[in-house]
Amino acid sequence: MLTLGIDDAGRGPVIGPMILAGCLLDENAEKELKKLGVKDSKQLTQKRREFLEAKIKELAETFEVIIIPPLEIDGSTEQGKLNELEAIASSKIINRINKGFGKIKVVVDCPSVSIEKWRDFLKTRVLNLSNLEIVCEHKADQNHVSVSAASILAKCMREREMEKLKKLYGDKIGSGYTSDPLTQAFVKTHAKKHQDKGIFRKSWATWKNAVSGPSQKKLGDY
């Protein structure tokens, strides 16, 4: 049986897109990639990820990568729908890949605390369920080679998208993550200046706090 692993990268950053990737592997490819050290992308260096990305693309039956820009993320999070947005993107990957491969086991790294509810919503967006077994798990990228491979594809794409932004806005943009001091400084300095460039997730508190400026003084401060 073929296995389709699906995972995301860049769910939490304040700058740049979220990436979703799907990777379809047969059993031999899974064994080969496991030997090569494919695992959760967060446990690998960028150099190793890039090496493994090439091997994954070479050995996979097929793969798909979807880029979700900040504007689309903001549109979803205003109603608390980021999990649904990810489910819709996952369904797009499944629908694009599920063509003529026969029976496929789909394993998705579930972003929601409610696995069953999220899986049920995902299924409503999948066009043909007849040949699919859909499994949603937490930490699937640590337990399934196909999901680990997808996480590497997603992370490498996310890094390339950030490189594009660095060429436009300089290296001081950082990684885009809110925990990155470079990114924190960049947001504080450039939140208003670049607010219409489509690089920030404006629904994130980090961006909102930066554009609101210093908090209003309380009466006791005078």
- Structural domain includes residue 42: yes
H or E segment and range at residue 27: helix 27-36
Containing domain of residue 182, as a range? 168-209
From CA 147, how far away is CA 28, in angstroms rounded? 15
Residue 63 sits in a domain whose CATH number is 3.30.420.10
- Structural domain includes residue 176: yes
Assess whether 114 and 191 both reside in one domain.
no
What is the mean pLDDT of the segment spanning 27-50?
94
**At 41, phi and psi to the nearest 5?**
-60, -30
Assess whether 97 and 181 both reside in one domain.
no
Q: Could you tell me the pLDDT band of residue 80, with boundaries at 50, 70 and 90? A: low
From CA 191, how far away is CA 195, in angstroms rounded? 6
Assess whether 20 and 87 both reside in one domain.
yes
Q: Could you tell me the pLDDT band of residue 77, with boundaries at 50, 70 and 90? A: low
From CA 98, how far away is CA 32, in angstroms rounded? 23
| pTM above threshold 0.85 | yes
- Structural domain includes residue 219: no
Q: Could you tell me the pLDDT band of residue 222, with boundaries at 50, 70 and 90? A: very low
- pLDDT, residue 78, reads 60
- Structural domain includes residue 222: no
Assess whether 107 and 205 both reside in one domain.
no
From CA 171, how far away is CA 162, in angstroms rounded? 10
Task: Name the DSSP letter for residue 68.
Answer: E
Assess whether 102 and 184 both reside in one domain.
no
How does pLDDT run across 116-151, given as a tens digit for each residue? 999 999 999 999 999 999 999 999 999 999 999 999
- pLDDT, residue 75, reads 87
Assess whether 49 and 136 both reside in one domain.
yes
